[in-house]
A and B are shown apart, each in its own frame.
Chain A
């Protein structure tokens, strides 16, 4: 009987993702030296982008079905709601 298997991600794809992650890290470090506003902007854009690359390619989320994608989205959205509630609390007290 053939066993169910995960998707095989080619080395070349993984290498490209790794290179992209290193470039984004260099940009993040450079932005944080230039100005505080740029540092915050980089924190809010480059960091989630890096996390997404790891989740999507290294953790094979790209090749998973809707069930798993939906589960991850639900968990992350829950966390985002908590973070949103925190800032509503701090911002309006």
Chain B
């Protein structure tokens, strides 16, 4: 008797989980929209302090990682295990690079006292405090997702190496890819809302 596998069920289950992620971030986007409507000038000013160049660089990193991820699935579907493993490793590396840029960005803001409850932030108008509060919550939650995704990809790398993910059974890699791409989609919305609102 062979092990029971349900390809469609596995994928639908993953999508249902992704819907809860849509709603999690969707709620925060709604909060952002409400406060931006109430404090347009403060949001405009505060956004000008974020580096569009760094935001853009991180966008290129994540979009490229998504390309690697999608290609790794194509590779394993074509039976090319080595190429697939290399592409998953490249995807995870892009995730680490993204987090490094993000950390650098956060550190420079912390340095100026701009963090929740920080001295540099509390003397500012309420709209700017809200902007940076949302900035830390939303990019922080997104960063946690990138971290989780990067760890997940390392697990997938091990599963590929042990042939637990194969050409004829690769739904685990496909679902990990769905998660990774969703994290990319969320960043696509975060970029203009925070970095380009000035």
Task: Give A residues with C-beta under 8 Å from B.
Answer: 1, 3-6, 8-11, 14-15, 17-18, 21-22, 25, 28-29, 32, 36, 39, 42-43, 47, 50-51, 54-55, 57-60, 67-68, 71-72, 75-76, 78-79, 82-83, 86-87, 90
Contact of A82 with B26 in the complex, beta carbons under 8 Å = yes
Partner pick for A29 among B2, B56, B177, CB 8 A cutoff: B56
Contact of B74 with A11 in the complex, beta carbons under 8 Å = yes
Dominant secondary structure at the B interface:
helix
Please, which residues of chain A bring their CB within 8 A of the CB of B178? Answer: 59
Dominant secondary structure at the A interface:
helix
| Cα separation A76 to B19 with both chains bound (whole Å) | 8
| Chain A minimum-CB-distance residue to B196 | A32
Contact of B15 with A87 in the complex, beta carbons under 8 Å = no
Partner pick for A79 among B23, B44, B185, CB 8 A cutoff: B23
Please, which residues of chain A bring their CB within 8 A of the CB of B188? Answer: 47, 50-51, 54
| Chain B minimum-CB-distance residue to A32 | B196
- With contacts A47-B188, A51-B189 taken as known, whether A25 is within 8 angstroms of B19 at the C-beta atoms is no
Q: Which 8 interchain pairs have the tightest Cβ spacing?
A: A32-B196, A18-B67, A4-B7, A75-B19, A79-B26, A43-B192, A58-B70, A8-B77
Cβ contacts A to B, 27 pairs, < 8 Å: A5-B7, A5-B168, A6-B73, A6-B77, A6-B170, A8-B78, A22-B60, A22-B63, A28-B192, A28-B196, A29-B52, A29-B196, A32-B52, A32-B198, A39-B197, A42-B192, A43-B192, A47-B188, A47-B191, A58-B70, A58-B184, A59-B182, A78-B23, A79-B22, A86-B30, A86-B34, A90-B37
B152 at the interface (CB under 8 A from A): no
| Chain B minimum-CB-distance residue to A1 | B2
Partner pick for A3 among B70, B74, B168, CB 8 A cutoff: B168
Please, which residues of chain A bring their CB within 8 A of the CB of B56? Answer: 25, 29
Please, which residues of chain A bring their CB within 8 A of the CB of B196? Answer: 28-29, 32, 39, 43
B181 at the interface (CB under 8 A from A): yes
Q: In whole Å, how far is A66's beta carbon from the nearest beta carbon of chain B?
A: 13
- With contacts A6-B174, A51-B188, A59-B181 taken as known, whether A14 is within 8 angstroms of B22 at the C-beta atoms is no
Please, which residues of chain A bring their CB within 8 A of the CB of B123? Answer: none
| Cα separation A62 to B169 with both chains bound (whole Å) | 21
Other than the given A3-B169, A11-B71, A83-B33, 5 more pairs (CB < 8 A) read A6-B7, A6-B170, A14-B70, A54-B184, A58-B70
